[in-house]
Structure 1
Amino acid sequence: MLNNDRLLVQILLLGLLGASLWVLAPFWSALFWAGVLAFASWPLMRLLTRWLRGRQAAAAGLLTCGWIVLVAVPLVMLGFNLADHIRDATVMIKGFQVEGLPAPPAWLAGVPLVGQSLVDGWQTIDQQGAALFATLRPYLGQVGNWLLARSAQLGGGVLELALSLVLVFFFYRDGPRLAAFVHSLLERLIGDRAEHYLELVAGTVQRVVNGVIGTAAAQAVLALVGLYIAGVPGAMLLASLTFVLSLIPMGPPLVWVPATAWLASQGDYGYAIFLGIWGFFVISGVDNFLKPYLISRGGNLPLVVVLLGVFGGILAFGFMGLFLGPTLLAVAYRLLGDWVANAPVSADVIETEAQARESK
């Protein structure tokens, strides 16, 4: 009877755990990002708590307000910036429909081998502009629907971000108690190795955070250089937006692509081509090798494991996979390594070693 009662209690506990996970399911993404943000900035939280003489709630409130200002203000400015670019692009397209394309730039004919062909193509598009826009009109509707769907996803992402910035306050305030609870839970599950794997997960997440922030800083600096050379106004502001948008996949093109289009609309075709090439190969291209290198730096994981974790995690889990992928592969790799290192020695090996010692 005692065993039946214990089994019933275990079933009830599993049911309660499943129901709790079901209730929290809509908030997993916000909880995840709040936890990552709190973990990455925990040294700052400790420093601020010391300055405030141990008042954790006040330190958590100030740090949360700082994150809100740091993240919300650039996003609002980005929204206005994109709205202005969309409005300018709409006016430019309507102007092309009515007045046609401007005259081809003088340097276009001087392009080696293909200069005259480019000029002829420019004039052909100008002469057949109405027919071209009529041909593209059905596809413009599909592009509009795609942009509408992406806008809805962006709105959902902004709501998740806002919820994360609220939840991060509680992670700051209750962080030590949550860490102690997780440590006790792992000790019950895996025993003395709990501390080892907690350090492994913490180190992996910290390196991923350093890689993401380091890559974002590098892309912001490169964007500032390219925008300054091309003469785009507000280069410092756009570089700051590049830093924020570098934290999401395919974020930097939301800055340098509209800037390239603005240069083309102003007739600066040379600088527009330069900024397009610089943005595609330098600003966006640096993400492909700098981030994996920074994540693998300082750890004992092979670079291929980090690469597979980063790219495979993003494909499997979205942007959360940037953190989940390397962490899961790191833990699995270390578990397998410990299992191989602690493999039982066979009787034949023991006998061979004993004979070798006797022969000496």
Structure 2
Amino acid sequence: MDRQTEQRQSKLFVNNMVESAIRIGLLVLLLSFTYDIIKPFIIPVLWGAIIAVALLPLTKKLERSLGGKRGLASTLVALIGISVLVIPFVLVSGSIYDGVAHTTEVLQGGEIKIPGPTAKVAEIPIIGDKLYSIWNLFATNLEKGIQQFLPEIKGFLGAIASILGGALTSLIMFIISLAIAGGFMAHAEKISGALETVAVRAVGKKAEQWANLMAATIRSVLLGVVGVAFIQSAIIGAAMFVFQVPAAGLLTLATLILCIAQLPALLIVAPVIFYVYSTGDGTSTTIFTIWALAGGLSDNFLKPMLMGRGVDVPMPIILIGAIGGMLFAGIIGLFLGAIVLAIWYELFLFWINYESQSELSEQPEQAESAEDYRI
């Protein structure tokens, strides 16, 4: 009888295990198909949520001006954001197209003339002599220079085409994200209520505090990264326009993109300084160099001032999370990395405080038990 019971239990265990494995396998398969379906929308929805959190205070102010019409306010904010993205892109694209068309006409007509380098170019440390010889080759014999550096020119043009294609893809993605952000802002209270219910069920009573922390972190990174990038590019761009650097608008836009991507603005500033140094006089070159370098290095003191404002998390943690997240997941990692490290910091503080509270709560009981043993 015992043996039959044992066999029956063993068979029941195997059946339950097989049935559970089948259910888990089907669930994994369902999740896999679901992920493949929603994968193209994950990044736009994440960006939409980030933009909505960042622009919601502005939307609420506009809502009060429009008599409480949240839908109209969020639509206007989204349309303004799309205009801010599309108009500069169209202007820059048109400028690039006109420049390429003009260059093609000049090349076909054989009228192109490149001014020769001055003696100052050769005096530039390390690269001066080589730069002078290459520049002089293109100025004196353009056809020979193109033939000699044809592979490099093709690679450069291919890189430019790739950058423009990526910029167009990013522009479309951000337009979609702004549209999604408009929907999020229009129904912010309902969405936040539903997310809070899910978050409380998942992580407990700390969910609301962490949600506020995430929102504050997003705004902090937006101010400390994007805000600083705009300030830097404005300073450097003003210098380029004042000193009439060719393609100043395009270089300013490239500087803004580099600064948002947390790359040093000196990647663009340094070549421009060399150009101004080779074509201008000593006084103007010195003024431009100081001006441009001040803009390129301004993030060293602007980020500590702006990043971390409104967040009860040390600025280095936010900055490390933003930079590390960007290296791991691109531009969106700026926000996700900072949020993840901020939550881990709060978890660490909660663990420290929990241990301290546990020790304090145990001390009275220990004291009472010690009194009991005294005679």
Length-normalised TM-score, structure 2 = 0.72
Other-structure match for 2:339: 327
Q: 1:61 aligned to 67, 72, 75, which one?
A: 75
Larger radius of gyration: 2
Is 1:299 matched up with 2:307? no
The CA distance in 1 between the partners of 2:37 and 2:133, in whole Å, is 60
Other-structure match for 1:36: 50
Is 1:191 matched up with 2:208? no
The CA distance in 2 between the partners of 1:241 and 1:127, in whole Å, is 30
Is 1:104 matched up with 2:118? yes
8 A Cα contact 1:306 1:326, kept in partner: yes
Other-structure match for 2:40: 26
- Per mean C-alpha deviation after superposition, the further-off stretch among 248-257 and 181-190 is 248-257
1:222-301 to structure 2, matched below 5 A, reads 222-231=235-244, 247-248=260-261, 268=280, 279=292, 281-287=293-299, 290-291=302-303, 293-301=305-313
Other-structure match for 2:181: 168
Other-structure match for 1:76: 90
Aligned pair count reads 350
Q: Secondary structure at the match of 2:187?
A: helix
8 A Cα contact 1:211 1:295, kept in partner: yes
- Per mean C-alpha deviation after superposition, the further-off stretch among 15-24 and 176-185 is 15-24
8 A Cα contact 2:106 2:112, kept in partner: no
- Per mean C-alpha deviation after superposition, the further-off stretch among 37-46 and 283-292 is 283-292
- Per mean C-alpha deviation after superposition, the further-off stretch among 251-260 and 332-341 is 251-260
Q: Per-residue CA shift, 1:53-93, capped at 9, x if unaligned?
A: 33322222222222222221122112223334555677889
Length-normalised TM-score, structure 1 = 0.75
8 A Cα contact 2:214 2:339, kept in partner: yes
Q: 1:285–1:276: structure 2 CA closer, same or farther, 3 Å change rule?
A: same
8 A Cα contact 1:260 1:275, kept in partner: yes
Percent identity over the alignment is 23
Aligned-pair CA distance for 1:50: 2.5
1:89-168 to structure 2, matched below 5 A, reads 101-102=115-116, 104=118, 108=120, 121=133, 125=137, 131-168=144-181
The answer for unaligned runs of 5 or more in structure 2 is 1-11
Q: Per-residue CA shift, 1:151-204, capped at 9, x if unaligned?
A: 322221122122112222211222211111110001111221111111211121
Q: 1:300–1:225: structure 2 CA closer, same or farther, 3 Å change rule?
A: same
The CA distance in 1 between the partners of 2:92 and 2:135, in whole Å, is 36
Q: 1:200 aligned to 213, 218, 232, which one?
A: 213
The answer for unaligned runs of 5 or more in structure 1 is none
8 A Cα contact 1:309 1:327, kept in partner: yes
Q: Secondary structure at the match of 2:88?
A: helix
Q: Per-residue CA shift, 1:328-351, capped at 9, x if unaligned?
A: 11101211221232138579x849
8 A Cα contact 1:292 1:303, kept in partner: yes
